[in-house]
C-alpha cells in the first residue's frame, strides 16, 4: 500500500484526503516511480475541482510533476532501469508514494540534483521554455516582458531569458515580487499596478528600453494587462498567452496586430508532451545543462510533506507562492 492524495469526486481542495491505496503496476511502455518529491501547480487545483480541460477518470491522485527512483519497469521499456533517478511529467498521479509514468515522459536527472530541485524544474520550466523558444522564437539579445514574474512560470521565464542571453522586463505587483525577480536576474521592473495600466505599462517599458518597446511578452495574467502588454511591443513583436491568472479572458484588437506587425499565439504545453515528446526531452536536456552550469536554479519557496497538500494548493491558488511549492514523500 502507499499514501496518496485521493480524489473520489470533483470538488474543492478541502474535500480531498490522503488515503492508503494499492501500489499500481506498470503496463506496456510504463514505469513505476517511487516518488521523492512532487511540484504543486495551479492546474492541480483546477483538476481537483473538475475545471481543467482534461478530467482524469475517478478515483485518481492529482499532481503533474514528480521526481524519484524507478522501482519497476513494464514490458518494452529500455530507456530507464530500476534504480535510475528520474523526473517525470504526467497528466495526473504525482501526489502519491508511487506513480505510473510513460517511459517517454521520464528524464534521468543529474547526480548532484536533489529530488526537490528536480520536481521544481519541471512543468513551470517546460512551459517557460516552450513559450520562449517554440512559440515566440526567442533569439539572443531580445527584450522580454514577463508578466507575473515572481510566480512559477514567471520566475522560470526570468531565469531562462537571462541564461539564454536576453534582457528581462519583470512585470510585478508589489515590492516583494520585485525583489524576488531581481534576485533571479530581472534587468528592469515593470509595475503592473501603476494605474492607468493601459498607458503606464507601455510608458514604463518604453522608458526602460530607450523608446523601443519589447520584442516578446510572456503573459500568464490576461485581463487588462494583456491589452496593455500588446501596446508595449516593438515592431514585429510577439506575445504568447499561457494563462489567465487575473480571471478575465481578454479579446484581441486586431488593429494593434496590423499596425506594428504583431503576432499573438497561445501555448498548451501538454500537447507538445503528448504529440512531440522528443521536443520535450530535448528541452529538458538543455535545461539540465543550464542547471549544471549554474545559470538556472529553481526557487522552491515552500517544501512540505504530502499531508500538507491542502495548504500548499491553497497558497498556490491565492498567488501566495514565489516560484514553486513542493511536496515531499515519506
- Kind and range of the H or E run holding 310: helix 309-317
Residue 245's pLDDT is what?
A: 80
Residue 10's pLDDT is what?
A: 97
**With bands split at pLDDT 50, 70 and 90, how would you rate the model's confidence at 254?**
confident
Question: What is the average pLDDT across 254-266?
Answer: 92
CB 172 within 8 A of CB 189: yes
Residue 256's pLDDT is what?
A: 83
At 4, give phi and psi (nearest 5°): -155, 145
* Per-residue pLDDT at 330 exceeds 80: no
Question: What is the average pLDDT across 230-255?
Answer: 90
**With bands split at pLDDT 50, 70 and 90, how would you rate the model's confidence at 327?**
very high
* Per-residue pLDDT at 15 exceeds 90: yes
CB environment 92-104: b (16+ within 10 A), e (fewer): bbbbbbbbbbbbb
Q: Which residues contact 297 (CB under 8 A, 6 or more apart)?
A: 117, 159, 291
Q: What is the mean pLDDT of the chain?
A: 95
β-pair type (106-108, 85-89): antiparallel
Write down all domains in the chain, each with its CATH number in brackets: 2-121+298-328 (3.90.180.10), 124-269 (3.40.50.720)
Q: What is the pLDDT of residues 94-116, one digit of tens each?
A: 999 999 999 999 999 999 999 99
Q: What is the pLDDT of residues 36-68, one digit of tens each?
A: 999 999 999 999 999 998 899 999 999 999 999
Q: What is the pLDDT of residues 297-321, one digit of tens each?
A: 999 889 999 999 999 999 999 888 9
Q: How far apart are CA 195 and CA 214, in angstroms?
A: 20
Q: What is the pLDDT of residues 167-205, one digit of tens each?
A: 999 999 999 999 999 999 999 999 999 889 989 999 999
CA proximity to 89, closest of 68, 58, 59 = 68
Residue 102's pLDDT is what?
A: 95
Q: Tell me if residue 25 falls in helix, strand or coil.
A: coil
* Per-residue pLDDT at 247 exceeds 80: no
Residue 301's pLDDT is what?
A: 87
Q: Tell me if residue 90 falls in helix, strand or coil.
A: coil
Q: Tell me if residue 132 falls in helix, strand or coil.
A: helix
Amino acid at each position: 500500500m502507499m499514501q496518496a492524495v485521493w480524489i473520489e469526486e470533483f470538488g474543492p481542495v478541502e474535500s480531498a484526503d490522503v488515503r492508503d491505496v494499492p501500489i499500481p503496476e506498470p503496463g506496456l511502455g510504463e514505469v513505476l516511480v517511487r516518488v521523492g518529491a512532487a511540484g504543486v501547480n495551479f492546474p492541480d487545483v483546477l483538476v481537483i475541482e473538475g475545471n481543467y480541460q482534461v478530467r482524469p477518470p475517478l478515483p485518481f491522485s492529482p499532481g503533474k510533476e514528480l521526481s524519484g527512483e524507478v522501482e519497476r519497469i513494464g514490458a518494452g521499456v529500455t530507456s530507464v532501469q530500476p534504480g535510475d533517478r528520474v523526473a517525470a511529467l504526467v497528466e495526473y498521479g504525482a501526489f502519491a508514494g508511487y506513480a505510473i509514468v510513460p517511459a517517454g515522459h521520464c528524464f534521468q536527472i543529474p547526480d548532484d540534483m536533489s529530488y526537490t530541485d528536480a520536481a521544481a524544474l519541471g512543468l513551470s520550466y517546460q512551459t517557460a521554455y516552450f513559450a520562449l523558444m517554440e512559440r515566440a522564437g526567442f533569439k539572443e539579445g531580445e527584450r522580454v516582458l514577463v508578466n507575473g514574474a515572481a510566480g512559477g512560470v514567471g520566475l522560470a521565464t526570468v531565469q531562462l531569458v537571462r541564461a539564454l542571453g536576453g534582457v528581462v522586463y519583470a512585470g510585478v505587483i508589489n515590492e516583494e515580487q520585485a525583489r524576488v525577480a531581481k534576485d533571479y536576474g530581472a534587468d528592469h521592473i515593470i509595475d503592473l499596478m501603476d494605474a492607468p495600466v493601459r498607458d503606464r505599462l507601455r510608458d514604463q517599458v518604453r522608458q526602460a528600453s530607450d523608446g523601443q518597446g519589447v520584442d516578446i511578452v510572456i503573459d500568464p495574467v490576461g485581463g487588462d494587462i494583456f491589452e496593455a502588454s500588446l501596446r508595449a511591443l516593438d515592431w514585429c513583436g510577439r506575445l504568447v498567452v499561457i494563462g489567465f491568472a487575473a480571471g478575465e479572458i481578454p479579446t484581441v484588437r486586431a488593429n494593434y496586430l496590423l499596425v506594428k506587425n504583431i503576432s499573438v499565439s497561445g501555448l498548451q504545453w501538454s500537447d507538445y508532451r503528448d504529440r512531440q515528446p522528443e521536443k520535450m526531452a530535448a528541452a529538458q536536456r538543455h535545461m539540465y545543462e543550464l542547471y549544471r552550469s549554474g545559470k538556472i536554479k529553481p526557487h522552491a519557496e515552500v517544501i512540505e510533506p504530502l499531508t500538507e497538500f491542502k495548504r500548499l494548493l491553497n497558497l498556490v491558488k491565492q498567488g501566495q507562492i514565489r516560484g514553486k511549492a513542493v511536496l515531499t514523500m515519506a
